Each structure stands twice: as C-alpha cells, then as structure tokens.
Amino acid sequence: MKIASAMARDCIKLVCVRHGESAWNKDNKFCGWIDVPLSETGEKEAVRAANAIKSEPDLIFDKVYTSLLKRANRTADVIVKRCCSGDRQNKQPQIIKDWRLNERHYGGLTGLNKAEMAEKHGKEQVQIWRRSFDVPPPPMTPDHPYYSEISEISLCQLKFIGCLELLVRLQMTIHCSMMFPRGAFRIGNH
C-alpha cells in the first residue's frame, strides 16, 4: 500500500485544456494564428475549466505551457489564478509560451466565414481543408489582409503550417523537447 501511494504521488500528471471560444469562433470565421481574444462565452468557459481542474485533489502545477495567442494565454491565466493560489500551492508555476503550441494555420482561409466558404467551394471541400490529416488549406498569399500580421513569425516557423499532419509533427517536437527533456525518461531496454 505504501509503495502504491508513493508511486501515485511521484507520477507526472498532464492536464490539457483548449482555450475557450474566441471572438472569431463566435463569428464562425477561420481563426488559426490570428491573435483574437476570447469571447464573453470563452471567458466563462475558461472559468468553468479552472473550476473543474481545481476540483481535482492534489494537482500542483510546476509548469504551464501555452501558445503565443492571447486567447490561449487568457485561458491559462484564468486557470493559474484560480488553481495555483492560496493554500493549494505555495509557488506560482513557470509559464512557458511557445509558437509551436499555436493552433493550425488556416492559410488563405484565415478570417473568412466558414459557411460562406462552404457555399463557394462546397461543404465537402471545406471539410477536407478543416479535417483532412494531410491536405492543407489554400496558402496565404502576400496580398491576404492578414498576411503581414502572421508573417511576423519567421519563415522557418511558417514551414510548419497547414494540414493537421504538420501540426501533429510540430506539437510532438514541443512535447518531446520541452515537456520531456533529454534524459527525462527512456523507452525500451536502454
């Protein structure tokens, strides 16, 4: 019994939370890397997520990883303020912001209304762009109204945008390199 409780105490727990509804989610627009805030509903969703996390006994946060996007940062801030203060936790967690945690880039669809794009290109094509693992959305060209806002991120980083397959690869790099640094664990008979 003592061994089991010591193992449970020493286990790492990973808590994953998606940001609350953004202003563009509410307007049914393709959002991706555009830095829009949470909607009023999104703020309430962040509070509900924080309350759900706070109801879990013995969760103590050492680090909080978030994207560079304000909607994700605001969600993380709400959770940290509600869950990492008072008698539950003596020390504030380290907040780590990384562009590799940004959500997928919607390319040329960024800022456009999803329903209007379904009318123009067909519902099936829009679903392929949104949900296909290996088919990226149309590229964002320099004449796109949000190009300059997004192109502030270096070209090296922009090569990872597009389809979900690239997003998964990108997410794995941050999970492996930051959350589980070299030597943190081994798999197999090494």
**What are the extents of the domains in the chain?**
20-179
d(CA 103, CA 83): 24
- Report the catalytic residues: 19, 103
173-180's contacts with Cβ under 8 Å and 24+ in sequence apart are: 173/100, 174/65, 174/98, 174/100, 174/101, 178/65, 178/96, 178/98, 179/14, 179/63, 179/65
Q: Rounded CA gap, 129 and 127, in Å?
A: 5
Nearest CA among 100, 97, 90 for reference residue 166:
100
pTM given for the model: 0.79
pLDDT at 3: 46
- Ranges of the chain with pLDDT below 70: 1-10, 86-88, 90, 151-163, 178-190
Q: DSSP string covering 77-120, please? A: HHHHHHHSSTTS-SSPPEEEE-GGGS----GGGTTSBHHHHHHH
Confidence at residue 74, expressed as pLDDT on a 0 to 100 scale? 97
* 178: its two tokens: 């930051």
For 44, other C-beta atoms within 10 Å of its C-beta total: 14
pLDDT digit string, tens, across residues 4-56: 444 455 677 888 899 999 999 999 999 988 899 999 999 999 999 999 999 98
Question: Which CATH superfamily, name and number, covers 20-179?
Answer: Phosphoglycerate mutase-like (3.40.50.1240)
Decide if 59 contacts 15 (C-beta within 8 A). Answer: yes
